[in-house]
Structure 1
Amino acid sequence: MKLDARKQSFFSDSKPACSLRGHWVSFCLVDELGVGAAYGGLPYTVHDSAGQQYKGRLNGEGFAKLQNIYCGPVVLVFDELYSGTEQPYQRLMVRPTYKLPITELQVRAEQTRFAGSDGRCTEGSRAQQTANRFYQVEVRDLVRHVAHLPPIEPRTHQPQRHALEMMATLGFSPPQPTLAGVMLFPNCHTVLEVRPLRALRPLLSTEDGFCALNLYQLALMASLSYCSFGQEPPQKPQNEVRFPLDPSVGHLFAEKLSGYHEAWRVDAEQQQRFYPLYEEVSYSRRFEILPFDPVMYPQNRPELGEKQEHPARLHFFDDKEFGTDTQAFISHHEEVILIAVRGTASAADGLRDANAHQVAFAEGVGKAHEGFYQAYRAMRDFVLRYLDQFHTDQRVIICGHSLGGAIALLLAEGLRRATEGNYNILLYTYGAPRAADAEFTAGASTLVHHRIVNHNDPVPSVPAPWMNTTAKLWVPGAVTLFSAPAPGGLLFAAGLVRLGGNPYQHHGEQQHFMPIMLADGTRSSVLWKPGCESIQEAGCNRALQLHGDMPGRDNLLKQLFQANQHFMTASYIPAAWATLRRWQQSQESGGPLVTPREFELLDQALEDMRQQLRNKRRELARLRPANDRGYEHNDALNSEIDRLHTSRERLATLRWRRLEARDVYGSHAHGAHLQPSLKRWFSHRENRELSQVASIPPAMNDEWGRAQTLDIDSIV
């Protein structure tokens, strides 16, 4: 039989493919350093051209040789399933759903390391010099089921896939549902350099306490929630799925991080690079995007139609059924389940924001903002289904920005009260509006919630405590307050205008970014817990003044949600990065969180604000009718004056407070992996440069300079 040109390189007249014995083949598996010890004792299977099967184990150096085999190419596979008890492999193989076909080869590859720090394929391996043929292979080249493995990386010396296909075409390889393995040639020694199965995952502290690491990392994850999932095809996939869109949730976790590539883009319009702190882990410990394999998993089969499961449906919530336009993503590893909820991004979101009517929080106590509650209820079952399948006592970390923060709060409290799961919740929100009333807040007092507010972000000031109205009713007195706001008017609405019911109230202790502009032009920023409403409410009052009269709540909210201090990549993420850098410097130097110069400037600004409140109290007393004793007005003002005094005392503690590593890195403070993670992070020039905002101005003898304007009308 004369062979066509495509087959000539594999079969020839001098080496026909026929049943002649007396030939040999040898092969060796090595890591990227050219060492085969990592694969010593690994079981293998070889299929020869006559359909014979040979099973054996590699020796201690990862080497094997077969003698007296039939003439012709052979197919090498390493499809033996892992039989040990080491975690997380054993747990992943026996979990209730999406059991993973983890092989012995995969476990070995996960225990090797890259030769280069960037994970790129190496050239000029020492093992290559000892081989007749040399291939750079990945685990998925050598096993049958590959849907749970990372995508193939570019490589110079790849195995010849079409040769394997030719073996099947000619009938030399055994029948298999899918082609698997690498083809080796007779009378040749082949070295297979196996790419390590390592991944990157964002470091997240699982401790209750606030830390700068989570502040920064979760700001990035909350911003990522605005992206699409990026799956192709997005619906009704047939055989496989891909995630080519960058940035997208699927691309980050399933492509970049699973392939050991650092990623920094979490926003399609992002220009400045913000890299998360990544920890290198074995591949099975990454943030997982579940596999899609209709052969292995019946729930993935296309014939299920609308009930078909695939990664986008499992990890990504984009509400169409209930029409709330709520969006969120969820992923997990053995220590953390991460949920990120998107903020305002559409007209439907805006209408939900504006619906300040209160409804009962059925899962607990108190009442919640109706629009936020509807969005939470829409995604609740999606989250519970995921947790039912993959929650194994991990810390459930939830984050959200803006509207997403409000929904995240209701979700966190709903999960905390869910009796079936015993979920341990940790919540970080950024620029979140008030989501529920005072009774809800009291009932959720044990929920760990770190609430981040940027210095001039007006959104946390809405809905105002008095906004307890129906969606269609707008009280003329409230309109007057907005359309002609007197200085500080919005600030005092909590005490002066109550339309009935419990007032809206924030949950969680506020962490506030407060900027300082020094006379020499140096910008600084202090993150602290002021404990008063004046600073936060001033941001909303300033937005009203900048944008002019707003006779309707929908217009008000539209303007507020467009305020630039509210955006993530332009505001919250840079401030979180600056705080992380500042706290790193403070912890390393042993210095305080604020210098004497910063303290004096901020303290004077707070005292100025306190004096303005006293003046406002006198003004209201003068304008009040004689028969109006105004106890409620006085109580609101007096309470805020007292809180400002408490805030000054808190500020004073920052002069002597020294940070520990746990304040900066939380549960990772003393982990062996922290320093390699920091080394990788600081390898990017963006993280080596000290931002002015992150800098701590050195103490000066003359102590000159002044704080930025800080009063009840504005924080510039």
Structure 2
Amino acid sequence: MEQDAWKQQFFNDRLPACPLKGHWLTFCLVDETGSGKSYGGLPYTLYDSAGQQHRGRLNGDGFASVADFFCGPVILVMEERYTGQEALYQSLMTRPFYALPITELQVRAEQTHFLVNHDQHGEHNPARQNADHFYQVEVSDLVRHSAHLPPRSSRTHPPTRQVQKMMADLGFGPPEFSSHGLVLFPKKFTVLEVRPLRALRPAISIHDQFCALNLYQLALMATLSYCDFGQEPSTAPEDKVSFPLDPSIGNLFVEYLSCYREAWRFDSEQAQRFYPVYEEVAYSRRFEILPFDPELYGQGDTVGSLEHPERLHFFNDVESGTDTQAFICHHTEVVLIAVRGTASGADILRDADAHQVSFVEGIGKAHLGFYQAFRAMQNFILGYLARFHTGQRIIICGHSLGGAIALLLAEGLRRMPDAHYNILLYTYGAPRAADSEFTVGASSLVHHRIVNHNDPVPSVPAPWMNTTAKLWIPGAITLFSAPAPGGLLFAAGLVRMGGNPYQHHGEQHHFMPIMLPDGTHSSVLWKPGCESIQEAGCNRALQLQGDMPDRDTLLRQLFQAGQHFMTASYIPAAWATLRRWQQTLDSQGTLVTAREFDLLDQALEDMRAQLRAKRRELARRRPANDRSHETNDPLNAEIDRLHASRERLASLRWRRIEARDVYGSHAGAAHLQASLKRWFSHRENREAAQFASIPTPSHNDLARPQTLDIDSIV
């Protein structure tokens, strides 16, 4: 073997001979096309078997020739720090926290591209033909500090490590290079194909305007918040961390996206494949998960308590009892925060505690349980922003309970003095989180609130509620032993006495179901502006009978509770909306076709007829001399709103879709067509029908529902 050949002239059986000098070698760095121009002029250092340094620079084609070094293999390293002036790299290298050791080699590798659209090295590099040795290498092979670089990928032609280890064991060459650097052999020409440092990141619009892209992308991110962070070890790591759990937050951002691999799972029980629209970016522009390198980053809250990725990016409040969970990460344009919805018994108890308390960060009052969760995570979010917010758009998303907490978080951040945070909020199936005074005070917060047809959770807490857990829970228990006092206590714990009613915040976007010509189901997303549609069955209008609200309509919605789940409901509907709007944009059609208008208009007319019938029924029950209801009849008001909604629907028959309606700030971006080509390469995204049907959920997708908030059924 080659190792044995050089060893024989350098050693006898047990003792080294005098070192010989005069050996030579040549090597080059190339990209996947076989060109070395991307690496032209890079500085390098070779360490020979006697520990001598040989410095130089690659020529314009990425080649180097080195002569007159001590015999035996040499170790190549390329650790020269970046000295250019590009603002991105300068900011990463000089930031006060987690300054990155970015090398010239890293910057060059970030400017190269994969020859084909996948994460693996190519197999047919033309530079391989003339090489004595050909290795597929990564930047992390050639530098000391690599925690901020992606995990190494599999490769067909990996560099050899045995000789390097043998040299270290025998005491030849600098011992610090036993774990990094590459071995090159004398009298040989070696070609090093450097893997491009490219990453994928979900494309997210930073514009205020609602767009179908954000609807779909942020639904996936909100669902990801239900996953664990997935770090091993999860606490007290000593030298390195990994993220093997798929799906998990760390696995997505580190093992997949940082390594230029597409991910499609955002729920541990998910069977359907939902791919985000990914844009290809230079590695340093990815969503960053901060590195764990105790040698470089020793800061911690207490002595011996090192910070690590899970502590920095993942909030999981198990100590104070709120059980709030969220993750945060960022890139150069976006800080992304996703808040988890109801997933545990602690969440259910918090959901039920709808007593109103002052929102001290602003004005108005908030749901006590949601407010406690927001306060629990507030310092975690503020600490992260203080370190890594450099003017990016802060985009917050959340589903169910997570949407309610996200609203309070967004408004709290917006009102931070002198912070100037620019917030964009998307919520899915969120309950009411605060009162009407809060809603007025937060009117300038950009909030797109998505509601799926008969999802029951957005109907709660009802405007009349002030659910005090200290009263209604004992009252519910007492009902079984003493029905009369128990019932009074239960009612007192539910009904608000004085103050302002609960009220939704944000611009509502509502999925309304339709059936396509082939019999499959889909939905139309629009802004009805009508509480009857929002609460799916006119619950608000019909709850004013007698002394206690009538909850029958809402209870019937529980049979359609699947419309609250993300992977079985919101994500498929958001995907269908993105596909429908893409097709409408391509065909230069209108937002609502004539057939869709007829279907939706008939549904609205049916609801209007139900309200009229209910009004007649109530009129028959009232005494003939009772005129008190005529002045302010909620049914009449709701009928009027339905009429206004039908007129708004009619206007959509003529509205044309523009690229910004579909893609937001990414409309017209240089990367868009390449990103869409990658997205459409997956069969799930190639819908042949004129308008996309909602993918039918598999059995597995229904196996892990997000638990309903308890105050949706009280």
TM-score using structure 1 length: 0.88
Q: Distance in 2 between matches of 1:378 and 1:540?
A: 36
Query: CA shift at 1:288, angstroms?
Result: 0.4
- CA distances 1:195-251 after superposition (whole Å, capped 9, x unpaired): 000000000000000000000000000011100000000000000000000000000
Tell me the SS of whatever aligns to 1:351. Answer: helix
Listed as ranges, the matches of 1:191-590 within 5 Å are 191-299=191-299, 304-305=303-304, 307-474=305-472, 499-517=497-515, 521-538=519-536, 560=558, 563-590=561-588
- CA distances 1:259-299 after superposition (whole Å, capped 9, x unpaired): 00000000111111000000000000000000000000112
State the partner residue of 1:11.
7
State the partner residue of 1:132.
132
Listed as ranges, the matches of 1:142-221 within 5 Å are 142-176=142-176, 179-221=179-221
Name the stretch that deviates more: 10-19 or 410-419: 10-19
State the partner residue of 2:709.
none
State the partner residue of 1:660.
658
Query: CA shift at 1:599, angstroms?
Result: 1.1
Letter in 1 for 2:132: N
Query: CA shift at 1:475, angstroms?
Result: 11
RMSD over equivalenced CA pairs, Å: 3.0
Tell me the SS of whatever aligns to 2:604. Answer: helix
Q: Distance in 2 between matches of 1:236 and 1:147?
A: 16
State the partner residue of 2:616.
618
State the partner residue of 2:595.
597
Segments of structure 2 that go 5 or more residues without pairing to the other structure are 478-490, 695-714
Name the stretch that deviates more: 194-203 or 13-22: 13-22
State the partner residue of 2:642.
644
Q: Distance in 1 between matches of 2:102 and 2:66?
A: 26
Q: Distance in 2 between matches of 1:618 and 1:478?
A: 35
Q: Distance in 2 between matches of 1:199 and 1:152?
A: 13
State the partner residue of 1:483.
none
- The answer (yes or no) to whether the contact 1:530–1:651 under 8 Å persists in 2 is yes
Change in Cα spacing, 1:326 to 1:476, as seen in structure 2 (3 Å) is closer
- CA distances 1:560-583 after superposition (whole Å, capped 9, x unpaired): 599111000000000000000000
Listed as ranges, the matches of 1:53-132 within 5 Å are 53-132=53-132
- CA distances 1:109-146 after superposition (whole Å, capped 9, x unpaired): 00001112112112232111111111110000001100
- The answer (yes or no) to whether the contact 2:44–2:77 under 8 Å persists in 1 is yes
State the partner residue of 1:35.
35
Query: CA shift at 1:158, angstroms?
Result: 1.1
Query: CA shift at 1:626, angstroms?
Result: 6.6
Tell me the SS of whatever aligns to 1:340. Answer: strand
Q: Distance in 1 between matches of 2:328 and 2:556?
A: 28
Query: CA shift at 1:633, angstroms?
Result: 8.4
Query: CA shift at 1:518, angstroms?
Result: 5.9
Letter in 2 for 1:323: G
- What is the aligned residue count? 668
Letter in 2 for 1:138: E
- The answer (yes or no) to whether the contact 2:579–2:691 under 8 Å persists in 1 is no
Q: Distance in 2 between matches of 1:364 and 1:310?
A: 33
Structure 1 vs Structure 2: percent identity of aligned residues? Answer: 73
Letter in 2 for 1:406: A
Letter in 2 for 1:397: I
Change in Cα spacing, 1:589 to 1:562, as seen in structure 2 (3 Å) is closer
Query: CA shift at 1:634, angstroms?
Result: 3.2
Change in Cα spacing, 1:539 to 1:113, as seen in structure 2 (3 Å) is farther
Q: Distance in 2 between matches of 1:475 and 1:74?
A: 75
- The answer (yes or no) to whether the contact 2:111–2:196 under 8 Å persists in 1 is yes
Q: Distance in 2 between matches of 1:529 and 1:209?
A: 13
- CA distances 1:170-205 after superposition (whole Å, capped 9, x unpaired): 222225387321011111111111000000000000
Tell me the SS of whatever aligns to 2:237. Answer: coil
Name the stretch that deviates more: 213-222 or 508-517: 508-517
Q: Distance in 1 between matches of 2:425 and 2:338?
A: 10
- CA distances 1:276-335 after superposition (whole Å, capped 9, x unpaired): 00000000000000000000011269x835x43100010011102221111111110000
Q: Distance in 1 between matches of 2:559 and 2:144?
A: 51
Q: Distance in 1 between matches of 2:145 and 2:459?
A: 53
State the partner residue of 1:45.
45
Query: CA shift at 1:167, angstroms?
Result: 2.2
Letter in 1 for 2:279: E
Query: CA shift at 1:7, angstroms?
Result: 6.4
Letter in 1 for 2:98: Y
Query: CA shift at 1:51, angstroms?
Result: 1.6
Q: Distance in 1 between matches of 2:539 and 2:690?
A: 28
Query: CA shift at 1:615, angstroms?
Result: 3.1
Q: Distance in 2 between matches of 1:309 and 1:291?
A: 10
Segments of structure 1 that go 5 or more residues without pairing to the other structure are 480-492, 697-716
- The answer (yes or no) to whether the contact 2:537–2:607 under 8 Å persists in 1 is no
- CA distances 1:578-605 after superposition (whole Å, capped 9, x unpaired): 0000000111101112221221221232
Q: Distance in 1 between matches of 2:68 and 2:80?
A: 24
Q: Distance in 2 between matches of 1:325 and 1:44?
A: 51
- The answer (yes or no) to whether the contact 1:395–1:426 under 8 Å persists in 2 is yes
Query: CA shift at 1:621, angstroms?
Result: 3.5
Tell me the SS of whatever aligns to 2:7. Answer: coil
Name the stretch that deviates more: 602-611 or 241-250: 602-611
Name the stretch that deviates more: 669-678 or 172-181: 172-181
Tell me the SS of whatever aligns to 1:299. Answer: coil
Tell me the SS of whatever aligns to 1:164. Answer: helix
Query: CA shift at 1:10, angstroms?
Result: 5.2
Letter in 2 for 1:304: V
- CA distances 1:482-533 after superposition (whole Å, capped 9, x unpaired): xxxxxxxxxxx9xx98632211000011100001236863534210000011
Q: Distance in 1 between matches of 2:232 and 2:693?
A: 44
Query: CA shift at 1:417, angstroms?
Result: 0.4
- The answer (yes or no) to whether the contact 1:51–1:173 under 8 Å persists in 2 is yes
Letter in 2 for 1:155: R
Letter in 2 for 1:653: S
Q: Give 1:680's match in structure 2, choosing from 671, 678, 681.
A: 678
- The answer (yes or no) to whether the contact 1:344–1:350 under 8 Å persists in 2 is yes
- CA distances 1:72-125 after superposition (whole Å, capped 9, x unpaired): 111110000001111311110011100000000000000001112112112232
Letter in 2 for 1:294: P
Q: Distance in 2 between matches of 1:421 and 1:17?
A: 68
- The answer (yes or no) to whether the contact 2:436–2:501 under 8 Å persists in 1 is yes
- The answer (yes or no) to whether the contact 1:578–1:691 under 8 Å persists in 2 is no
- The answer (yes or no) to whether the contact 1:590–1:659 under 8 Å persists in 2 is yes
Tell me the SS of whatever aligns to 2:469. Answer: coil
Tell me the SS of whatever aligns to 1:214. Answer: helix
Change in Cα spacing, 1:377 to 1:163, as seen in structure 2 (3 Å) is same
Q: Distance in 2 between matches of 1:633 and 1:201?
A: 56
Q: Distance in 1 between matches of 2:420 and 2:35?
A: 46
Q: Distance in 2 between matches of 1:623 and 1:269?
A: 51
